[in-house]
Amino acid sequence: MARLPIQNPQSATGSNKEIFDFLQKNLGIVPNMTKVMGNSPAVLQAFAQFNGAMGNAKLSAKARESIALLTAEHNACTYCLSAHTALGKMAGLTQEQMNGARHGESGDPKTLAALTFAQAVLDSRGGVSEQSIADARRSGLGEAELAEVVGAVALNVFTNYFNRAFAVDVDFPRVEAHNHAAAR
């Protein structure tokens, strides 16, 4: 059970109502994560704006979903693994591709470069080496894509931490982290 109240989209007002209506229209549901974020309109707006902006990224939706799965696996976030497995399918990823992404693997060279750089960002908590950046560039990532990998990691760390901190109830088909020891 969530540690913060789950907001009711039908009684929402203001910016919360606009965001909930948008999610209902585009996803067919208002995910529990956003209902819990709705306790603070500022947090819900920050998520919606960051997530929306990343939708305009040069990185493909498949690459962004792959990074989301890698990050959720790294942080043992069951909610995000579950949500991004569903969203990954919507983006056109196969189950095999999603399983690989959780461990930094991809058959697509550009996605592999993004996942490798994302793993370096996660492992170093942002303190990546010059070598990591040079390797990512050699693997085909441009300036915008390098920035977007860090943006995707940051967005997903935010949602991973939010969902874990408040024990948000999973409302997608449940997917557990392979490394259960990392989850507390």
Average pLDDT by consecutive 10-residue portion of the chain (184 residues)? 92 96 95 98 98 96 98 97 97 97 97 98 97 97 98 98 97 87 47
CB 107 within 8 A of CB 97: yes
- Closest residue by Cα to residue 167 from 19, 32, 13: 32
Task: Give domain 61-182's CATH superfamily.
Answer: AhpD-like (1.20.1290.10)
Tell me, what amino acid is at 113? A
Q: What are phi and psi of 79, to 5 degrees?
A: -60, -50
Question: What pLDDT does 184 receive?
Answer: 41
Domain positions in the chain are 11-54, 61-182
Question: What pLDDT does 144 receive?
Answer: 98
- Structure token digits, residue 110: 């550009």
Question: What pLDDT does 62 receive?
Answer: 97
How many Å apart are CA 68 and CA 156, to the nearest integer?
A: 6
- Closest residue by Cα to residue 97 from 74, 63, 139, 121: 63
